[in-house]
Chains A and B, each alone.
Chain A
Amino acid sequence: AQSVAQPEDQVNVAEGNPLTVKCTYSVSGNPYLFWYVQYPNRGLQFLLKYITGDNLVKGSYGFEAEFNKSQTSFHLKKPSALVSDSALYFCALMDSNYQLIWGAGTKLIIKP
């Protein structure tokens, strides 16, 4: 069965420190993986995706994600966190019908 998991409900990081939001997946075949961000009282916004190629994917707002096939992970990263990065982050996996399977979301809190 295809699935995606975000093991952390919340991640707290001090401003200026690197951040990581974790995502693991389960799929037979090659995964198509996505990250979306949701700011308070807003809709979700696409950040980045992995389809094939380089394992390090760069996206919007300075975010990047590292695809690791052996660990079945697709962690979201940023070298230096900003307070404005505080939001809800969703990892998603595309299924065989080209539809997205969503993780539960991780609340990222960046403290000044």
Chain B
Amino acid sequence: DAGVIQSPRHEVTEMGQEVTLRCKPISGHDYLFWYRQTMMRGLELLIYFNNNVPIDDSGMPEDRFSAKMPNASFSTLKIQPSEPRDSAVYFCASSRRTGGNTGELFFGEGSRLTVL
């Protein structure tokens, strides 16, 4: 399996622009998570989906952030408009909650966002 695939790996944009981050989870996984990692705040859970349905978006910082999962193999995290404080590494992770697999998340390589 190719693992969790994220794109782009790096994005540099200017304040006010729209940013879209993409994620392809591991086939067969029914949970998908979006995390943000910064030096100041560490690892933060933004939102997670179960079977393509958003379950908890309480970690989404503002209305400027939105996430969708139109099908089991694709999810997007959108920031519109972007601000410099959104600069971070955004991770997508997936998991399958069956038997002994509970709690084992598989992370993508991350998308490093820089907003100027």
* Physical interaction between A and B: yes
Which A residues form the contact surface with B (CB < 8 A)? 32, 34, 36, 41-46, 49, 51, 90, 92, 94, 97-100, 102, 104-105
A-B CB contacts (within 8 Å), total count: 48
A92 to B93, CA, bound (A): 15
B104–chain A nearest beta-carbon distance, Å: 5
> How many residues of B sit at the interface, in one of the four size bands?
10 to 19
Partner of B45 from A32, A34, A98, A99 at Cβ < 8 Å: A99
User: Which residues of B lie under 8 Å from residue A46 when comparing CB positions?
Assistant: 104-106
A42 touches B109 (CB 8 A): yes
Partner of B42 from A43, A49, A94, A105 at Cβ < 8 Å: A105
Q: A32-B102, A32-B103, A94-B102 are in contact. Are A43 and B108 (CB under 8 A)?
A: yes
Partner of A99 from B48, B91, B110 at Cβ < 8 Å: B48
Q: A90-B43, A105-B42, A105-B43 are in contact. Are A44 and B102 (CB under 8 A)?
A: no
Closest B residue to A34 by CB, please name it: B103
Interface residues of B in 76-116 (CB under 8 A from A): 91, 93, 97, 100, 102-110
A100 to B97, CA, bound (A): 13
Q: A99-B48, A102-B43 are in contact. Are A43 and B103 (CB under 8 A)?
A: no
